[in-house]
Amino acid sequence: MTASPVNPIRKYTRTFILCVSLLSAWWPGSRCLAQGAQGREKVTLDLHKATMDTVLLLVEQQTGYRFFYDTADLDTNRIDITVNQEPYTKVLANIFSGTDLSYSIDKYGHVFVVKGEAIATDLPPAFFDKTTAAQKADVAANDTVRDYLEEAGKKVPATIENKLFVIGDKTPGPPPRGIANLVGYARDAKTGEPVVGASIWIDNPRIGTYSDRYGYYSLSLPKGRHSLNIQSIGMRDTRRLIFVYGDGKLNIDLVTQVMTLKKVIVSAEKVSNVKRTEMGVQKLDIKTIKQVPVVFGEADVMRVVMTLPGVKTVGESSTGLNVRGGSADQNLVLFNDATIYNTAHFFGMFSVFNPEVVKDVELYKSSIPARFGGRLSSVLDISSREGNKKAITGSAGLGLLTSRLNIEGPLIKDKTSFIIGGRTTYANWLLQDLPAQYKNSRASFYDVNLNISHEINKKNNLYLTGYLSEDHFNLNNDTTYAYGNKNLSLKWKHIFNNRFYNTVATGYDRYQYSIGSQENPVNAYKLGFDINQLYLRTYFNYLLNSSHTLEFGFSTLRYKLHPGYYVPVGGKSLVVPDTLQTEQAEESALYLSDKYTITGDLSLEAGVRYSVFNYLGPSAVNDYAPGYPESVGTQTGVTNYSAGKIIKTYGGPEYRISARYVLTTDLSIKAGYNTQRQYIHMLSNTTAEAPTDIWKLSDPNIRPQSGGQYSLGAYKDFKHNTIETSLEVYYKNIDDYLDYRSGAQLIMNHHIETDVLETKGKAYGAELLIKKLTGKLNGWFSYTWSRTLLRQNNPNEGELINGGNWYPADYDKPNDVTMVGNYRINHRFSVSLNATYSTGRPITLPIGVYAYAGSLRALYSDRNAYRIPDYFRTDLSMNIEGNHKVHQRTHNSWTIGVYNLTGRHNPYSVYYVSENGAVNGYKLSIFGSAIPFVNFNIRFE
């Protein structure tokens, strides 16, 4: 809500303005300029570069007139004015001349200042008579038609719904025919940030589109007069009257929706699953994410993604996602354009994404657009916010374990903005509870985000993203342990013309970890790993005509991995420095896809991505006897390759096809098929993704993973599209997925290929999602039934697992039910509840006991033949906002809640251990009781 009085005493003004605006919308044709009924007062002013606010305040003090206006309309205007005892009306005319502002004065001395048309202060004479159709037509005909020429440099943001915008060069004569193209940006009127996913459409014929991640939209529509409707979640619905003569631009400023309790937004065209061609795509904005209670109360992007259907995780404190039966390394996690290799802080208790900086999260688990590649299962695309382009603002949060601070604002007003956010922890107090021998342990983490967006001109934009995260853990002062991400990316967006734009992104990503121990001076060591990548990605979007939109581009990625080094620390250490040879490779891809609207009901999106992977020298590659399992015994020699030499090339096409057929306006069906290739593998034989897992490139001895997925879905909206439902089924196969021999040595292994097995996987399932994101009660319910099975039945690979039969993967949890709910009791108070149930994950349980080395020991047999007990958890949180006065300097809110409300001991792992000679079985729960939390957040400007 941006309408505001000149001074805060007049609290009633806001409502008043609303009423008047409404009136003006009802009666757009009438003009009512200053009549000067009370304009006899004299005014004296001498101001230079004064804001409109100041000028109007002074006029008000001298005359007793009262001004009403929307601050957003005035804030760009600066005025030089010198008048001495001039009549009031003359002064006002002077003030508003050369602006696009109009004013009108009613009989009570209220002055209404608006952009564009002046407000009618009286009802038209025939208002209370039934308005006839003829009159309506008359009104429409009297609309002021103005040229809207952006090129003229006159900044005219479209904020008035009843103004007619002329698109293209106005031609005299009969109405134009043919198709024209309209583009522009949807922005937040207050902050200047792009509005993503706004639905923009005309009713007749029904043509629509959505704004992209930059707020950019492009629409092909018949020439002529239209009403352009714009809707976006969290924004006030609006429309623009346009008269299209040819291609043109129209930027749309949207006003934040102040949620009113009585108002339920019923809309026909929200970004709806029914209408999208893609399937298996889920999008969450940060507002939704922040409502979901999580342990320690800090909004956690990854945790909320885990509540979506088809997304599983092996355990409570694991951030590794298993999407539709894929392993944790088969997800491409992008933060803006940067690849984040480790998404967890503090062993998985927190995700590395600062909720104050994140704008939204999009998960692609089925139709992965052709522009993405390199991972088999999913793409998690996390976008950060752009900074406020109008004013410096900020926010801060205080929790039991972490604190965060975020500042944003313009560097050049309306052109360049920045946002910088940081988080840190003070978890050391937790470690006080540890047993005496670990008392000296220390844990800490931090992360820093910096985003700068710059508008070079109307056609060129630059985006800079910097990201840094670090974790440190010091075990009892002698084992130190650190890991972190570093990312830097620069993106340039260029608009060639209305139908054609592109982005070019380049950047550097790094993930590294190290462990060092000096506990024993002779064995003191430091062990480390890092992965580095440099990339260049181009993306072109070409609107061929109203039924074809082409996307194409090229990307290349240069990997450089240091798979491990192990070096001595201190003078007494006898550790021999050992370094695994550096790995390098180039992964490139060309892609093309077409969004083809065959009829209004049937549309198809088909793409192909051709990826090529070159494993590059210098390298010494181990050779093995063909036809035998790769083992130390079958190694025949080593081949040396020089720097830059292409040692091995893998590649092939990947297909991305999805189709949608709309049966009725609120029911559609979709089908999809897509294939993927993955050239980098995470090596981990632990159940959960650990920060110290290392990555391995495909090489002559380790083939890339590949996979395909067939999916089918039905989508239906209920209750005027406020309830969205979907049912999707899928079948997926995975080839050359890496598994491990028993007792595999994964770190500092010079012949890792002898310890891995290339296995096959298959996954299938059904996912039901019911989602309601508007209204007092909102949230979603998801149910997933799925299986994920693996098999290693090739004796040439070596060891057969479970006799070569299919066995369940660690994250195979057939039944999974999640409910996320939020109930808004009033503006300042809402309650969130989530509940989740899932089948226990498979585990390898002992089948017997034997005696060895002085103790009874557990005997293990088939892998993953049993399951841990089922999982159930409920969390509750209350979000309490401070008062909602718009123009106070700070806004604060509290989040109070309880994680694991029922205090259930959810087994996280079940294990048997030999202790003092006996075998004991234990269930381990990470959160063995209800965990209360509190978080304080403050926003300031």
Which of 213-221, 602-610, 653-661, 928-936 is the region at the interface with other proteins (rule: CB under 8 A)? 928-936
> How far is the C-alpha of 111 from the C-alpha of 116, rounded, in Å?
15
C-beta of residue 710 within 8 angstroms of C-beta of residue 730: yes
Q: Which of residues 83-122 bind other proteins (CB under 8 A)?
A: none
Q: Which of residues 547-566 bind other proteins (CB under 8 A)?
A: 566
Which of 194-202, 594-602, 661-669, 905-913 is the region at the interface with other proteins (rule: CB under 8 A)? 905-913
Q: Which of residues 820-859 bind other proteins (CB under 8 A)?
A: 844-859
Q: Which of residues 733-762 bind other proteins (CB under 8 A)?
A: 742-743, 747-748
Does 909 bind other proteins (CB under 8 A)? Our answer is: yes
> How far is the C-alpha of 691 from the C-alpha of 473, rounded, in Å?
12
One of 37, 434, 456, 880 touching other proteins (CB under 8 A): 434
> How far is the C-alpha of 353 from the C-alpha of 286, rounded, in Å?
11
| Least distance CB 879 / other proteins (angstroms) | 23
- If the CB atoms of residues 823 and 860 are measured against other proteins, the closer one turns out to be 860
Q: Which of residues 674-713 bind other proteins (CB under 8 A)?
A: 685-688, 690-692
Q: Which of residues 172-201 bind other proteins (CB under 8 A)?
A: none
Nearest to residue 287, comparing CAs of 237, 394, 360? Answer: 360
Does 641 bind other proteins (CB under 8 A)? Our answer is: no
C-beta of residue 539 within 8 angstroms of C-beta of residue 493: no
Does 932 bind other proteins (CB under 8 A)? Our answer is: no
Total site size for other proteins, rule CB under 8 A: 88
- If the CB atoms of residues 164 and 475 are measured against other proteins, the closer one turns out to be 475
| Least distance CB 537 / other proteins (angstroms) | 34
Place of tokens 């077409």: 594
Does 791 bind other proteins (CB under 8 A)? Our answer is: no
Nearby residues of 870 by Cβ (< 8 Å), 6 or more positions away? 837, 838, 839, 840
| HSE-up of residue 922 (Cα within 13 Å, Cβ side) | 10
Which of 24-32, 475-483, 586-594, 770-778 is the region at the interface with other proteins (rule: CB under 8 A)? 475-483
- For residue 796, give both structure tokens: 């040439």
> How far is the C-alpha of 357 from the C-alpha of 420, rounded, in Å?
8
| Least distance CB 473 / other proteins (angstroms) | 6
Site string for other proteins, 476-515 (x = CB under 8 A): ---x-x---------------------------------x
Does 571 bind other proteins (CB under 8 A)? Our answer is: no
- If the CB atoms of residues 671 and 748 are measured against other proteins, the closer one turns out to be 748
Does 407 bind other proteins (CB under 8 A)? Our answer is: no
> How far is the C-alpha of 831 from the C-alpha of 237, rounded, in Å?
26
- If the CB atoms of residues 78 and 439 are measured against other proteins, the closer one turns out to be 439
| Least distance CB 378 / other proteins (angstroms) | 21
- If the CB atoms of residues 386 and 755 are measured against other proteins, the closer one turns out to be 755
- If the CB atoms of residues 98 and 854 are measured against other proteins, the closer one turns out to be 854
Which of 70-78, 244-252, 780-788, 902-910 is the region at the interface with other proteins (rule: CB under 8 A)? 902-910
Nearest to residue 353, comparing CAs of 283, 394, 299, 397? Answer: 299
Q: Which of residues 277-306 bind other proteins (CB under 8 A)?
A: none
> How far is the C-alpha of 438 from the C-alpha of 327, rounded, in Å?
34
C-beta of residue 465 within 8 angstroms of C-beta of residue 335: yes
Which of 334-342, 583-591, 828-836, 908-916 is the region at the interface with other proteins (rule: CB under 8 A)? 908-916
One of 85, 642, 826, 916 touching other proteins (CB under 8 A): 916
Exposure string for 907-934, b = 16+ CB within 10 A, e = fewer: bbbbbbebeeeebeeeeeebbeeebebe
What's the DSSP call for residue 57? Answer: H
Which of 2-10, 177-185, 228-236, 473-481 is the region at the interface with other proteins (rule: CB under 8 A)? 473-481
> How far is the C-alpha of 593 from the C-alpha of 615, rounded, in Å?
27
The dihedrals phi and psi of 311, each to the nearest 5 degrees, come to -110, 125
One of 766, 924, 934, 938 touching other proteins (CB under 8 A): 924
Q: Which of residues 341-370 bind other proteins (CB under 8 A)?
A: 347, 349
C-beta of residue 416 within 8 angstroms of C-beta of residue 454: yes
Which of 251-259, 569-577, 666-674, 814-822 is the region at the interface with other proteins (rule: CB under 8 A)? 569-577
One of 521, 600, 633, 653 touching other proteins (CB under 8 A): 521
> How far is the C-alpha of 754 from the C-alpha of 740, rounded, in Å?
9
756-772/723-740 β-pairing: antiparallel
**Torsional class of 926: left (φ above 0), alpha (ψ -120 to 50), beta (otherwise):** alpha
CA 723-729-735 angle, 5° bins: 140
Place of tokens 């903005």: 417
Angle between helices 52-63 and 88-96 in degrees, nearest 10:
170
Beta bridge partners of residue 528, listed in sequence order: 514, 565
One of 153, 173, 435, 644 touching other proteins (CB under 8 A): 435
> How far is the C-alpha of 355 from the C-alpha of 350, rounded, in Å?
11
Does 400 bind other proteins (CB under 8 A)? Our answer is: no
One of 433, 643, 826, 889 touching other proteins (CB under 8 A): 433
- If the CB atoms of residues 44 and 520 are measured against other proteins, the closer one turns out to be 520
Does 921 bind other proteins (CB under 8 A)? Our answer is: yes
- If the CB atoms of residues 119 and 845 are measured against other proteins, the closer one turns out to be 845
- If the CB atoms of residues 580 and 662 are measured against other proteins, the closer one turns out to be 580
C-beta of residue 254 within 8 angstroms of C-beta of residue 188: yes
The dihedrals phi and psi of 62, each to the nearest 5 degrees, come to -80, -25
The dihedrals phi and psi of 721, each to the nearest 5 degrees, come to 65, 15
Residue type, 70: D
| Least distance CB 233 / other proteins (angstroms) | 36
Does 902 bind other proteins (CB under 8 A)? Our answer is: no
Q: Which of residues 572-601 bind other proteins (CB under 8 A)?
A: 574-576, 578
> How far is the C-alpha of 87 from the C-alpha of 35, rounded, in Å?
13
Does 266 bind other proteins (CB under 8 A)? Our answer is: no
Residue type, 751: H
Nearby residues of 152 by Cβ (< 8 Å), 6 or more positions away? none
| Least distance CB 577 / other proteins (angstroms) | 9
- If the CB atoms of residues 637 and 854 are measured against other proteins, the closer one turns out to be 854
Does 428 bind other proteins (CB under 8 A)? Our answer is: no
The dihedrals phi and psi of 929, each to the nearest 5 degrees, come to -155, 180
Nearby residues of 367 by Cβ (< 8 Å), 6 or more positions away? 277, 278, 279, 280, 281, 605, 656, 658, 672, 674, 711
Does 912 bind other proteins (CB under 8 A)? Our answer is: yes
One of 438, 496, 628, 829 touching other proteins (CB under 8 A): 438
| Least distance CB 581 / other proteins (angstroms) | 17
- If the CB atoms of residues 826 and 916 are measured against other proteins, the closer one turns out to be 916
| Least distance CB 606 / other proteins (angstroms) | 41
- If the CB atoms of residues 172 and 743 are measured against other proteins, the closer one turns out to be 743
Place of tokens 């009297």: 142
C-beta of residue 212 within 8 angstroms of C-beta of residue 283: no
- If the CB atoms of residues 446 and 911 are measured against other proteins, the closer one turns out to be 911
C-beta of residue 358 within 8 angstroms of C-beta of residue 286: yes
One of 436, 571, 642, 885 touching other proteins (CB under 8 A): 436
> How far is the C-alpha of 7 from the C-alpha of 886, rounded, in Å?
13
Exposure string for 629-639, b = 16+ CB within 10 A, e = fewer: bbeeeebeeee
Which of 17-25, 315-323, 390-398, 601-609 is the region at the interface with other proteins (rule: CB under 8 A)? 315-323
- If the CB atoms of residues 195 and 321 are measured against other proteins, the closer one turns out to be 321
Does 764 bind other proteins (CB under 8 A)? Our answer is: no
